[in-house]
A and B are shown apart, each in its own frame.
Chain A
Amino acid sequence: MSEKRAPAAAAPVEYYEAHKKVYPREIKGRFTTLRIATVWLLLGVYYIGPWLRWDDRQAILFDLPARRFYIFSLTLWPQDFIYLTLLLVISALGLFFVTALAGRLWCGYACPQTVWTEAFLWMERITEGTRAQQMKLARSPWSFQKLWRRSAKQLLWISFALWTGYTFVSYFTPATELASKVLSFSLGPWETFWILFYSFATYGNAGFLREQVCKYMCPYARFQSAMFDKDTLIITYDEARGEPRGSRPRGVAAATVDRGDCIDCTLCVQVCPTGIDIRKGLQYECIACAACIDACDTVMDKMGDPRGLIRYTTQHALDGGKTHILRPRIAIYGVLLLLIIAAFFGSLLTRTPLDLDVLHDRSPLYRIIESGEAENVYTLKILNKDDRPHTFSVSVSDSKLLQLDPVAPRFTVGAGELFPAVLRVRRDAYAGPSPQTITFTITAEQDAKMTATADSRFFGPIR
């Protein structure tokens, strides 16, 4: 104990790397223009979607309490769950196909995380200025200038996030109904919860987490490399052409000063939304947004060198080989995708918006009526999934033997209605086997294609 203890370190030991905010530099170029166009398109579709009308209702509405989905002229019921499943399978296979062919196009242009982050970055630039101004503002002490710029940014972000949450819930509660509820402060607890939840998620993901969602939360970012091969389109730095990097005056050819084409201006690093250096090679953090291509092309134009030091290419092409577009991986994904898409649309187009379910009344199984015939009672559950009412006539198989009561039953079922129709069927008690399988057929009177059948059993006494 006589030994003197080592003096405590002056600075506390940091066990964890502090998060450094990425300030992506604004850039103009071909791919940036393309991304901004997709941002407008996708956000436009999202925000306008709930306000589109179809006949007397919202065009796209997922009515959860009534358990039906409206998508333009289509009404989907829980029984149509297969279509949703097929749609998800198509989306997944489509993603695999595109990834194998062209890499992370989804991440760079279409992912909601990218799209909303782009919108939030835009609002940040409106209020806080360029990258350099933002970084300066972050370093500077609190002042009136900083306060109002930061407040303006938060105001824009929060309003936009709330509008996003409102739009999200509008897909489940009709937008106009929701608007009047918001204005009269009469939102239900769950509607309030989901609007705030979705707004908060948008605000947090697009305002703060940003590239961290891609790096730490996204499963696709982790497994996308499984779809990659040497013929997949990637964004890469041409090391052979660029190295050794170093600065040189404009108009001086790289070869004359023993340098590669890269002038080490670090613009490609500054524009990167995930804060990586593409010159270090392909990294899983890269979301393939191509901002570095635009940045480098601008610089190469200024230097008078050909574009494409950073470019879309494949590993095979980079190694001096040829890129094979058609390869087993692509063929398998492609064929599977086509088959499932064909099955999806085939079954959707030929689908009859009609369901029939027959319940046999079991107490009693049968009874013998005065004429000596056996009688069974059935409930026909007719579900008219069409968007207009229909009148159905009912027939039963083996009509020589079996008689319906009422004789020629007709039932009118409203649009989207489930109608329980009660019917009796009779036959000579011992005329057939027991149980005997019988088939009910319902057909719409105006539309012969609207037809459905269902089997049941007829019981009679056993000899």
Chain B
Amino acid sequence: MMRPKKMKNLDEQGTNPELPVPLRRSLTVLWCSFLAAGAATMVTFALLDPARLWACFSFGGGTPNHLLFYSAGFFVFWAMGTTAAALTAFMLSSPRT
């Protein structure tokens, strides 16, 4: 009763029907991994001080560039998330299509 009729075909309607399938798949993959990367960046750098990494890799002297670490970390997580999500999308799609 509470489930609206539209919910039934959410599989087809769930992503934007106005876009070509490969594009809407890619956008979904990128968007979901973006969200995950945001969360992963927050947790990681709350527990890990970039200054320690700086010392660890001994980039020479100077002050560590925190923003560089945060941003690079974010993009690394995003790339990893995208890989996982893209593989998931690929494996879920029917091999016959």
Contact = CB atoms under 8 A, between A and B. Distances in A.
Interface of A: 15-19, 64-65, 67, 78, 81, 84, 188, 190, 193, 212, 215-217, 219, 222, 225, 228-230, 281-285, 315
6 contacts: A16-B20, A81-B46, A190-B68, A193-B71, A225-B3, A284-B10
Given A64-B67, A284-B7, A217 B31 contact: yes
Contact of A284 (B4, B15, B49): B4
Contacts of B46: 78, 81, 84
Contacts of B68: 190
Contacts of B6: 283-285
B83 interface: no
Interface string B1-38: 11111110010001111111000000000010001000
Nearest to B6: A283
Q: How large is the interface on B (under 10, 10 to 19, 20 to 34, 35 or more residues)?
A: 20 to 34
Nearest to B67: A190
Interface of B: 1-7, 10, 14-20, 31, 35, 42, 46-47, 49, 66-68, 70-71
Given A65-B67, A216-B14, A315-B1, 15 more contacts: A17-B18, A64-B66, A64-B67, A78-B46, A78-B47, A84-B46, A190-B67, A212-B16, A215-B16, A216-B16, A217-B31, A219-B35, A230-B2, A283-B4, A285-B6
Contacts of B17: 16-17
Contact of B2 (A78, A219, A315): A315
B47 A16 contact: no
Contacts of A285: 6
Contact of B66 (A65, A212, A222, A283): A65
Contacts of B70: 64
A25 B53 CA distance: 55
B10 A282 contact: no
B2 A282 contact: yes
A282 B2 CA distance: 8
Contacts of A219: 35
B64 to A, nearest CB: 9
B33 to A, nearest CB: 13
Nearest to A215: B16
B35 to A, nearest CB: 8
A285 B31 CA distance: 19
B38 to A, nearest CB: 12
A216 B13 CA distance: 9
Nearest to B46: A81
Nearest to A19: B18
Contacts of A228: 2
